[in-house]
Chain A
């Protein structure tokens, strides 16, 4: 075979391997979803789960139907949606900022959501909405406000990666300071509620939250995937991407808004969940490289895998009182982050 022929053969082999990685990640997620559904304080063997599933929410076994359809299934689906949203957001953010340590936390989006929720809990009732609507709405609004601040800086000073990272760090400290102020002002009972929200837990999941987070992910996903080639081109550095005809500034701003919407949709119901948006992109890149046609879906799958695994671990470690997933991801995330830092190669790509 000629050298060009060999090159094309190598490319085809690489694509097949990546396709296999996507399928393997999807299958692993299915297994973990099943494990999450059968795990819980009240237990539920696979056979019983199967019966309760096919019997539907109005099945004869009222207890099993309630456990599966009202508690476990919304929590598991929420874990998948939140994990996928954070995984996608993390990869997009790391790519547009050319920074392997970027995540929705780096730009302060999660801190903003936490502040919004804390304010809502502290002064609840001013919007005449029930708390379960008001708190996520406040978290969502503050996340968009944080994105708006970073976006405004990007419009004023240009959308270079350094400017965005520094603006994000400023936003992070700003909202963390406001969050501390709210906590300082809160009474012990309210403070307890705020701290519980900030833990990041799937216990707040319901079918409503599944529908809202699912809708946001479904709306954002096509726009993110449409940019797969643009994100891949951006990995060659700003100057090279621009010379391939890409409007780098416009793409960065567009991606920033998508990340804000995905993060807001993910954290507004569950609270702040750390490290998923940081680790999932690294796992995806290790598995399929930086062809974003594959890296994006794998980052979403990895994010979902991490969060569902954290959910299973939370239930197994403490069967009586489920440990919030935010705590599990934070504990497990630190050694993962250290591994990333140690194995990180020095980069010169801009």
Chain B
């Protein structure tokens, strides 16, 4: 394991919303964080990203990872900036931008947009895009920064099925190509199990289970954590497909 994040306890008032934990991950890995609402997923990601106190101690090969090497994408919200999509992506290079944007920075930004299938939106005003499109543009911005660790809070929450598949495939390819770690929170357990190398199940602010999707997404565990009665089916390649049912609907 190359990446280690030591998570401190996080309290809100008298309630401990996240208990101390240690998370390890290897380069090229997609680590999915799953759990019901209020389990502490966003708190955990913000702590790893250094976006809120207390901040996790994140090391990469034993060295503390500088904030510049962590690309954090918060949960989706509407952005109303009067900027074009390309201008927004270029901001991913904020620290190194001079008065004039270099042709290289522009070409790299356009290439990232192309990679996510967004090149046709490059000249559109950011504020005219849907929430899902804005989410993808901001993801493109993070990809342009090429951090060693990407921390993404529900990056597919506003996307349709096609774009969910596209973005998760791209993230997996990015992790493999650049030898980086991608930690992402997802609500769709089937998608998480299909694309993530490992999953970390959070419940009540504690890590309830960690491992491959097929191993941790058992009927009993899903029932306990989410309060549903799931059917767990398996595809030909062994990936679990979760079909949830409300407990009261079955009685």
User: A-side interface residues toward B, CB under 8 Å?
Assistant: 2-8, 10-11, 14, 229-230, 232-233, 235-237, 239-240, 242-246, 285, 289-291, 293, 345, 347-350
Contact = CB atoms under 8 A, between A and B. Distances in A.
Contacts of B73: 243
Contacts of B223: none
A348 B81 contact: no
A232 B88 CA distance: 9
A11 B87 contact: yes
26 contacts: A4-B110, A4-B113, A5-B110, A6-B123, A7-B110, A7-B113, A8-B110, A10-B86, A10-B123, A11-B106, A11-B122, A14-B84, A232-B83, A233-B91, A235-B82, A235-B83, A236-B91, A243-B72, A243-B73, A243-B142, A245-B94, A289-B84, A290-B83, A345-B80, A348-B80, A349-B79
B56 interface: no
A244 B94 contact: yes
A240 B74 contact: yes
Contact of A11 (B68, B86, B142): B86
A57 B99 CA distance: 39
Given A6-B122, A8-B107, 9 more contacts: A4-B107, A7-B110, A11-B123, A229-B97, A232-B91, A235-B79, A243-B72, A243-B142, A349-B79
Nearest to A237: B79
B183 to A, nearest CB: 14
B22 to A, nearest CB: 23
Interface string B81-119: 111101110011011010101010011001101100001
A290 B99 CA distance: 15
A349 B77 contact: yes
A289 B82 contact: yes
B51 interface: yes
Nearest to A11: B86
B127 interface: yes
A246 B145 CA distance: 13
A229 B84 contact: no
Nearest to B115: A4
Nearest to B141: A244
A240 B122 contact: no
B94 A240 contact: no
B215 to A, nearest CB: 32
Interface string B45-74: 000010100000000000000011001111
B72 A349 contact: no
B76 to A, nearest CB: 10
A350 B94 contact: no
B51 A240 contact: no
A3 B145 CA distance: 21
Contacts of B68: 245
Contact of B127 (A11, A232, A293, A345): A345
Contact of B94 (A229, A237, A239): A229
Given A6-B122, A7-B119, A11-B87, A349 B81 contact: yes
B123 to A, nearest CB: 4
Given A6-B122, A10-B123, A242-B51, A293 B99 contact: yes
**Chain A interface mostly:** helix
B12 interface: no
B41 to A, nearest CB: 16
Contacts, number: 112
B250 interface: no
B201 interface: no
A229 B110 CA distance: 19
A236 B140 CA distance: 14
A246 B91 CA distance: 11
Contacts of B95: 245
A242 B101 CA distance: 21
Nearest to A4: B110
B67 A3 contact: no
Given A245-B94, A289-B82, A290-B82, A3 B77 contact: no
A8 B91 contact: no
Of all A-B residue pairs in the complex, the 8 with the closest CB atoms, nearest first, are: A7-B122, A3-B119, A4-B110, A10-B123, A348-B78, A235-B81, A243-B72, A347-B80
B138 interface: yes
B120 interface: yes
A237 B95 CA distance: 17
A7 B107 CA distance: 9
Contacts of B91: 229, 232-233, 236, 244
Contact of A243 (B49, B83, B84, B107): B49
A289 B51 CA distance: 28
Contacts of A349: 77-81
A264 B106 CA distance: 40
A346 to B, nearest CB: 8
B79 A7 contact: no
Given A4-B119, A7-B110, A233-B91, A240 B82 contact: no
A17 to B, nearest CB: 12
Nearest to B68: A245
A4 B111 contact: yes
Given A4-B110, A10-B86, A291-B87, A244 B81 contact: no
Nearest to B127: A345
Contacts of B88: 236
B114 A240 contact: no
Given A229-B94, A230-B94, A350 B77 contact: yes
A91 to B, nearest CB: 12
